Structures are given as structure tokens and as C-alpha cells.
């Protein structure tokens, strides 16, 4: 309703009325049919006030009418059928196509807000959705399962039914539309290329393209990662995915490379797993053969037969094994000296095996031959040097200087290690070789191994030495036979004969020896409470000459033991006490009976096991235990007990109880630990001695000052009483007064008497 002031009598309506809006003369604005926001969302009108002559007296005034939207339009897809494609293993969540729908309703209201969703996926494998849609934008992408499992071989295409709803999909009254989407699955092209071969030391311009990788979609950013972290990485990749070698490669330095190609999106995030790239460096023949050493030395025995193998010469080639570049050929080009002939040796062309070619060698002709060997491959030749030493063969046997070294008489106590005889054999083979070295061996007369022979390798002299003690009682006479032999075997047809054997006779004389105990230490174990007279152990000894033995003890400081002199049995003669000594150690003496009375000593250790033979006792002095008097509440004191018996690993185990029933009215004690408690507070200020089984525990009730027990000084031995102290003080003052009257200066004397706990206790009058 509009109003105007006179002389206005009516109103005029102009503007975007669309013949819908009218105004009455009295100013009532109205519309005559339904509005349509989708036809015109806003009507811009003007109203003017007119007088009776139709002239404008006010206005025109602008009026804007906004048409409020209602949900009267359904969403519609722009296409009824969409087609798209996606690569196998594409990144999940990255859109590969879009579907679009429109709604004529106001997009600023829920009426025009669209919601997309996938209704059907065909085929549907095990109920797993391979595709997903952004419910606001209509962007279709792969799910994580789709990225991993899509396979064009199994299912090359999929059909989706996609719906769109207005009202943001949140109302049951929303309108909807559907569209069909056909998706083709394409093969993943992000695959590692086949291994690449690159010819080493290439002279072509670099960089050289050797292979390529491609991401499934354009726009990927490519890079390479070196697995081995080389100081110089000789490969690169451009943004097309082409991979290059940037410099010549040397197979002898590194024969293969493994690195990784990666593809990332514009934000630097990997699009997929890196691909492993294998590059093999292909060999060319760029290395000559090399000699294994400046001179290779072989040895050959004289008189070896024709064709005998001397050794194998192996040269080296850095080119690739098992290729034509590393196949080597051998040839002898010279021999020095050419005595007795040239061409004494031959070498197999490909194996490098050296053999005797014409005749056996003799060291007398030449002890050494020097050969020059040509080693060649397909393109190179190298000269190497081989030295062949002719060594003497073992065709001479050792010969003793004499076959009988006579008789040798020794006392049986001759020290081990003593050299008792020197023997000598000679060998005419080449000195200081295995053919001329002599080893001596006793082959007869010494089954116990009491003797040995040590050889001086410079002189081949043999020294017969005592290795074990001689024994008159078991071997008074021995006929010893030696054999001299070489460590190298004799050549065929040569054998050792009588010249390589020698002997001597060993006579051992008797020496009176002390008795011998069967053990260095004899041990026994008994309980500490065994009865006096109990056998606790025994010892045994024997005399090498078979004399009788008498046993005795020394070191029996406690007088606990005795020994039967004839049998060696040991008995107790007094009570034993583990707490005094847990292991009792004495010495046993065995003495010959008759003869020279030689003696020997052994040890006897007697271990005493514990029995419970000691009563418990207080662990320390508890004379200072006190409780402050008077008690306000029942109190307690802590004490510990011990005893002298052997303790278990858990420590002493005691049971505590009061010593008499009369104490139970005033006291109680914990059964399993040392805590004594009062049952009430009515105690006198004095010392109580509490009987706890076998011990007496003193507890003093006293006045406490600062948490310490205050005890008045009483008459104690060695201390003056209070009266005596006062007398001493008065006498001292009289003396001071006398000296003061005479004008003499004297020092002042202060006397303080301490209480039992060391606290100062000033004297009182």
C-alpha cells in the first residue's frame, strides 16, 4: 500500500511489470498471476503519484521485487551417456573424467545444490567399488582398490549408472536424474623397460638415449635416483621420459648399473612406485693380457719323465670373462740356457700348462731355466717370464756314522730334558732340501716314550733327550734302535737299508726315591657334630722301592685329628667346630720304614658341614634403646638377632617370643621380625630388661629433650656425685678468694658434668 499527499489523487506503475503487477488508485500494489523466478528473478518497478489532471506530483519511486525460489525444477545431465578411459594403476583420487548436470533453481539455495553419486558399477567384482565420484563436482576417479586391481585383460570396460539430486541430496522430496557412463580400462604404460646394454668407451657424441619410460598421462615430472650413490652418476632423464647416458662407461671399473626412474605430479608427489632400470656395460677388447707376477717360478725334479706336468701359467685379462676378448693363447718364444737342447719345454696353447718336451732334466746340466712366454688375445700381445728350477730328487738314503753307540748307564733320577747321547747320519742329496733333511725316530726299545730325538737341521745331528722320567723298577735295561729317514719320499727303486739304522743299550741304575702319594690333595667332608673317634678320611702312598710306609700328620693346630700310621686312615680325636674352621687343613707325611727314611708330604682338607649348635644372640649392643616417658601411645623398638651357624642365602631365620608369660601383659614381640612393642602406656621412668627367648633386651623409659633421652647423673664408677661436685666447686671458689685477697691473678675454672649420652648437664644447687 502506497500513500501520497494532496494534490495527488492516484498512482501510476511503470517498469518490468510483465502485465503481472498492477496498482489501484488508492495505492494498493498487487499481482494478477503466478511469478516464475526462472523467467525473471527480479522485477524493477517505478511508482509515481498523479493529480487529477494526470500530472506527476511525486516520484517516480523505484521498487525492486525479488522472486523467492521454490524447488520446481529437476536437475538434468547435459548428456544421457558419457564415455571415458582410465589407465591401469592410475593414481587413486585423481579425476580422469567429469559428468555435469544443471538445475534452473537458485544455486544459492538448497534447491539448486546438486549431489552426484554412483548408483551401479558393472561388473561388480566381489562387491568392491573401483570407481568413485566427487559428489559436488561430478569428477570420477579410481578408488585405492581400483588403482591396484583394475586389469584390462580381465575386464577391459566398465559401465556406471550415475545419479544427480538437488536439495544437496538431503531431502526425500528432492528431484533426480541419471546418466550412463562407459569407461574403458587401458593398459598401464608405467613399466620398467627391458635391461639395456651400453657399449663401453663409446666415442659417439654424448648424451646418448638408451631407453625411455612413460607415465600414463601427460604432465608428469620425471627424475632418476642412483641406488649406489656414485660420486659421478652418468645418466639423465628429460621431461619426456627419455633416459640418456651422459659419458663413456668403462666396464672394467663398473660392469653394470641399477637406478630408479620416478614420476611425480605438479606438487612433487610420486604418481607411482619407482621403476628399476638395469644397464649392462658391454665389453670391448680394450685391455691387453697381464702377467700374474714379474717372474713365475716352477720347480721340476730331475729325472721326471717326458710329458710330466711342471705347472700351469695363468695370465690375466681385465676384459669380460668367457668372451672372445678374454680368451688367451700361450707360446714359448725363448729358452735360456739352451742346454743340453733348446725346446726342452712346451706349453699348451690355451690352458698354459707347462710340460717336459724332449727329455728328463739333470741338475748337473743346468739348475735353472728362464723362459719368455708370449700371451695374446684377439688384439694384444704381452711377454711374460717363467723360471723353472731343477730340484734334486731323493735318491740317496741317510747313513749313520756308526751302527752301534755302545752302552749308556744313567741313574733313574736323571732330569727330564737332559741330552744323554748325540747321533749323526749324513745324506748326499742336495743340502737343505727335503731330500737331504734327516729325521730320527726311535722304532724299538722305548714303548713308554721316555726318550726323544731332536734334529739340528743345519748339521743333521741328532740329540737323544729324556722326555719322561726314567724308572729302574719298570725298565732297568733297554735296547734302543734308531731309524734315520727323509721327510721327502725316496724315488722308486731306492729303499732304506741297514745303514739307516743304529742302536745303543740303556742301563738305568736304581736310586732310593721318596714315597709317592696317589694325590696332591686329599679331601673329605663330615658333619661338625660327628662323634669323637669317627673315621673322617684316608690317604694312600707307595714307595717305588717297595718299602713299608708310615703316615703322620703335621699342622694339626687344633688337635682335632689323628692318623693310623700303617693304613693312612684319619680319625677325629676331639669335637669339631665349623664356626672355628669350616675347612680344616693339615699335612700328611709318608715316611719310608727302613732304608734312608725318605719322606714326602701331601695335603688333607676336611670340610665341616654345619649343624644348628649355636643359640641366637643380639646382633649388636642395644643398651641405648629408649622410649620417651611418659608414653602418649603404645611404642615400639626394633632389634636384630644372629647366630654363629652357617646362614642360608636368605639370611638368618628366627622366631621371636617373650621369655615369660608375665611379660605378655605389658609387651608383645613380632614373631617373624625383631619388633618389640608396648601394650599400654603406663610404664615407670626406669630401665626394663625384657627376656626374649635366650636373650635379654634392655629398654629405658626416660624424659626426652629434643628427641634424646635425658638421664640425670647418678653415682657412677669413675664419676663424682652431685654432692662431691658441689664440694669441689666450693673449695675451688675459696682458693680463688684467697688469691684474690692477696692481689694475685688466677684463672676462672668452670666445671660441667656430662650425662650418659654426652649432653652437658650443668650442676644444680
Longest Cα–Cα distance in the chain: 180
> What is the mean pLDDT of the segment spanning 445-453?
95
For the cut 70, the answer to whether the pLDDT of residue 461 exceeds it is yes
Percent of the chain surpassing pLDDT 70: 92
- Tell me the C-alpha distance between 637 and 652, whole Å: 20
H/E segment holding residue 733: helix 722-741
Contacts 24+ apart (CB under 8 A), 60-68: 60/12, 60/14, 61/2, 62/15, 63/15, 63/29, 65/21, 66/41, 66/42, 67/35, 67/36, 67/37, 67/40, 67/41, 67/42, 67/43, 68/37
- Tell me the C-alpha distance between 563 and 572, whole Å: 9
Task: Give the pLDDT of residue 77.
Answer: 96
For the cut 50, the answer to whether the pLDDT of residue 738 exceeds it is no
Q: Which residue has the higher pLDDT, 545 or 522?
A: 522
How would residue 346 be classed by pLDDT, with cut points 50, 70 and 90?
Answer: very high
CB 48 within 8 A of CB 12: yes
Task: Give the pLDDT of residue 116.
Answer: 97
Task: Give the pLDDT of residue 661.
Answer: 85
Q: Which residue has the higher pLDDT, 38 or 138?
A: 138
> What is the mean pLDDT of the segment spanning 152-156?
94
Angle at the Cα of 479 from the Cα atoms of 478 and 482, rounded to 5 degrees: 125
For the cut 80, the answer to whether the pLDDT of residue 731 exceeds it is no
What are the tens digits of pLDDT across the range 44-91?
Answer: 999 999 998 889 999 899 999 998 988 889 999 999 999 999 989 888
For the cut 80, the answer to whether the pLDDT of residue 176 exceeds it is yes
> What is the mean pLDDT of the segment spanning 730-751?
43
Grid coordinates given for 140: 570420477
How would residue 695 be classed by pLDDT, with cut points 50, 70 and 90?
Answer: confident
Burial group, residue 620, by CB count within 10 angstroms (0-12, 13-18, 19+): exposed
What are the tens digits of pLDDT across the range 294-305?
Answer: 999 999 988 888
For the cut 60, the answer to whether the pLDDT of residue 289 exceeds it is yes
Task: Give the pLDDT of residue 129.
Answer: 96
How would residue 218 be classed by pLDDT, with cut points 50, 70 and 90?
Answer: confident
What are the tens digits of pLDDT across the range 542-585?
Answer: 988 788 999 999 999 999 999 999 999 999 999 999 989 999 99
Angle at the Cα of 490 from the Cα atoms of 485 and 492, rounded to 5 degrees: 150
- Tell me the C-alpha distance between 370 and 172, whole Å: 108
Nearest CA to 138 out of 117, 168, 166 is that of 117
What are the tens digits of pLDDT across the range 653-678?
Answer: 788 888 888 888 899 998 877 888 99
For the cut 60, the answer to whether the pLDDT of residue 648 exceeds it is yes
Percent of the chain surpassing pLDDT 90: 63
For the cut 60, the answer to whether the pLDDT of residue 728 exceeds it is no
Burial group, residue 82, by CB count within 10 angstroms (0-12, 13-18, 19+): buried
Task: Give the pLDDT of residue 762.
Answer: 32
H/E segment holding residue 732: helix 722-741
Task: Give the pLDDT of residue 624.
Answer: 84
How would residue 730 be classed by pLDDT, with cut points 50, 70 and 90?
Answer: low
Residues contacting residue 731 through CB under 8 Å, at least 6 positions apart: none
Grid coordinates given for 21: 503487477
Q: Which of the given ranges, 34-38, 495-499, 641-645, 726-730, has the highest pLDDT on average? A: 495-499
Whole-number mean pLDDT of the chain? 88
Neighbours of 592 (CB within 10 A): 20
Grid coordinates given for 469: 722320567
For the cut 60, the answer to whether the pLDDT of residue 720 exceeds it is no
Task: Give the pLDDT of residue 459.
Answer: 95
- Tell me the C-alpha distance between 652 and 640, whole Å: 10
Angle at the Cα of 392 from the Cα atoms of 391 and 398, rounded to 5 degrees: 145
CB 347 within 8 A of CB 354: yes
- Encode 322-339: b = buried (16+ Cβ within 10 Å), e = exposed: eeebbebbbebeebeeee
Q: Phi and psi of 723, rounded to 5°? A: -60, -45
Task: Give the pLDDT of residue 729.
Answer: 53
Task: Give the pLDDT of residue 243.
Answer: 97
- Encode 280-308: b = buried (16+ Cβ within 10 Å), e = exposed: ebbbbbebbbebeeeebebebbbbbeeee
Does this model's pTM top 0.75? My answer is no
Burial group, residue 402, by CB count within 10 angstroms (0-12, 13-18, 19+): exposed
Amino acid at each position: 500500500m502506497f500513500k501520497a499527499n494532496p494534490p495527488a489523487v492516484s498512482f501510476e506503475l511503470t517498469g518490468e511489470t510483465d502485465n503481472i503487477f498492477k496498482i489501484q488508485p488508492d495505492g494498493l500494489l498487487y499481482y494478477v498471476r503466478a511469478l516464475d523466478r526462472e523467467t525473471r528473478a527480479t522485477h524493477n518497478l517505478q511508482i509515481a503519484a498523479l493529480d487529477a489532471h494526470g500530472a506527476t506530483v511525486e516520484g517516480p519511486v523505484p521498487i525492486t521485487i525479488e522472486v523467492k525460489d521454490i524447488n520446481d525444477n529437476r536437475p538434468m545431465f547435459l548428456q544421457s551417456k558419457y564415455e571415458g578411459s582410465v589407465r591401469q594403476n592410475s593414481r587413486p583420487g585423481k579425476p580422469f573424467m567429469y559428468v555435469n548436470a544443471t538445475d534452473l533453481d537458485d544455486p544459492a539455495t538448497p534447491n539448486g545444490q546438486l549431489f552426484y553419486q554412483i548408483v551401479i558399477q558393472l561388473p561388480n567384482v566381489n562387491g568392491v567399488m573401483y570407481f568413485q565420484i566427487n559428489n559436488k563436482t561430478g569428477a570420477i576417479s579410481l578408488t585405492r582398490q581400483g588403482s591396484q586391481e583394475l586389469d584390462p585383460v580381465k575386464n577391459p570396460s566398465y559401465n556406471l549408472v550415475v545419479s544427480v539430486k538437488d536439495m544437496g541430496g538431503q531431502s526425500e522430496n528432492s528431484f533426480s536424474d541419471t546418466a550412463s557412463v562407459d569407461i574403458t580400462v587401458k593398459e598401464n604404460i608405467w613399466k620398467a623397460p627391458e635391461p639395456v646394454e651400453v657399449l663401453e668407451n663409446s666415442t659417439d657424441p654424448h648424451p646418448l638415449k638408451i631407453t625411455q619410460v612413460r607415465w600414463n598421462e601427460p604432465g608428469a615430472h620425471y627424475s632418476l635416483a642412483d641406488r649406489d650413490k656414485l660420486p659421478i652418476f652418468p645418466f639423465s632423464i628429460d621431461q619426456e621420459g627419455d633416459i640418456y647416458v651422459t659419458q663413456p662407461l668403462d666396464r672394467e671399473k663398473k660392469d653394470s648399473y641399477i637406478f630408479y626412474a620416478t614420476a611425480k605430479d605438479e606438487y612433487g608427489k610420486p604418481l607411482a612406485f619407482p621403476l628399476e632400470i638395469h644397464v649392462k656395460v658391454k665389453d670391448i677388447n680394450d685391455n691387453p693380457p697381464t702377467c700374474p707376477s714379474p717372474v713365475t717360478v716352477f720347480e721340476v725334479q730331475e729325472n721326471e719323465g717326458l710329458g710330466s706336468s711342471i705347472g700351469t701359467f695363468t695370465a690375466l685379462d681385465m676384459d669380460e670373462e668367457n668372451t672372445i676378448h678374454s680368451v688367451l693363447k700361450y707360446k714359448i718364444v725363448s729358452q735360456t740356457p739352451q742346454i743340453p737342447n733348446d725346446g726342452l719345454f712346451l706349453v699348451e696353447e690355451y690352458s698354459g700348462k707347462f710340460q717336459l718336451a724332449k727329455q728328463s732334466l739333470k741338475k748337473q746340466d743346468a739348475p735353472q731355466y728362464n723362459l719368455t712366454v708370449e700371451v695374446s688375445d684377439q688384439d694384444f700381445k704381452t711377454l711374460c717370464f717363467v723360471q723353472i728350477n731343477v730340484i734334486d730328487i731323493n735318491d740317496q738314503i741317510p747313513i749313520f756314522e756308526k751302527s752301534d753307540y755302545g752302552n749308556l748307564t744313567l741313574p733313574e733320577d736323571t732330569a727330564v730334558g737332559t741330552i744323554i747321547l748325540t747321533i749323526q747320519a749324513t745324506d748326499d742329496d742336495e743340502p737343505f732340501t727335503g731330500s737331504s733333511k734327516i729325521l730320527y725316530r726311535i722304532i724299538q726299545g722305548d714303548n713308554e716314550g721316555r726318550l726323544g730325538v731332536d734334529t739340528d737341521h743345519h748339521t743333521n745331528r741328532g740329540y737323544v733327550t729324556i722326555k719322561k722320567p726314567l724308572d729302574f723298577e719298570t725298565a732297568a735295561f733297554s735296547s734302543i734302535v734308531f731309524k734315520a729317514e727323509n721327510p721327502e719320499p725316496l724315488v722308486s727303486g731306492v729303499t732304506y737299508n741297514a745303514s739307516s739304522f743304529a742302536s745303543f743299550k740303556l742301563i738305568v741304575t736304581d736310586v732310593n726315591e721318596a714315597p709317592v702319594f696317589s694325590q696332591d690333595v686329599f679331601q673329605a667332608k663330615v658333619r661338625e657334630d660327628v662323634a669323637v673317634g669317627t673315621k673322617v678320611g684316608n690317604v694312600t702312598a707307595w714307595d717305588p722301592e717297595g718299602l713299608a710306609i708310615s703316615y703322620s700328620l703335621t699342622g694339626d693346630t687344633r688337635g682335632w685329628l689323628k692318623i693310623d700310621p700303617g693304613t693312612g686312615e684319619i680319625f677325629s680325636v676331639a669335637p669339631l667346630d665349623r664356626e672355628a674352621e669350616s675347612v680344616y687343613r693339615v699335612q700328611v707325611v709318608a715316611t719310608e720304614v727302613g732304608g734312608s727314611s725318605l719322606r714326602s708330604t701331601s695335603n688333607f682338607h676336611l670340610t665341616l658341614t654345619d649343624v644348628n649348635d649355636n643359640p641366637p644372640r643380639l646382633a649388636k649392643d642395644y643398651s641405648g634403646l629408649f622410649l620417651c616417658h611418659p608414653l602418649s601411645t603404645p611404642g615400639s623398638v626394633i632389634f636384630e638377632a644372629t647366630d654363629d651357624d652357617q646362614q642360608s642365602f636368605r639370611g638368618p631365620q628366627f622366631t621371636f617370643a617373650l621369655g615369660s608369660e608375665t611379660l605378655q601383659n605389658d609387651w608383645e614381640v613380632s614373631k617373624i621380625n625383631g619388633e618389640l612393642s608396648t601394650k599400654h602406656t603406663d610404664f615407670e621412668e626406669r630401665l626394663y630388661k625384657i627376656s626374649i627367648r635366650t636373650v635379654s633386651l634392655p629398654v629405658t623409659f626416660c624424659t626426652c629433650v629434643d628427641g634424646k633421652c635425658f638421664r640425670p647423673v647418678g653415682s657412677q664408677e669413675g664419676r663424682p656425685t652431685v654432692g662431691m661436685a658441689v664440694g669441689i666447686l666450693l673449695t675451688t671458689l675459696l682458693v680463688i678468694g684467697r688469691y684474690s685477697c692477696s692481689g694475685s691473678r688466677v684463672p676462672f675454672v668452670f666445671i660441667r658434668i656430662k650425662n650418659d649420652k654426652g649432653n652437658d648437664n650443668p650442676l644444680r644447687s
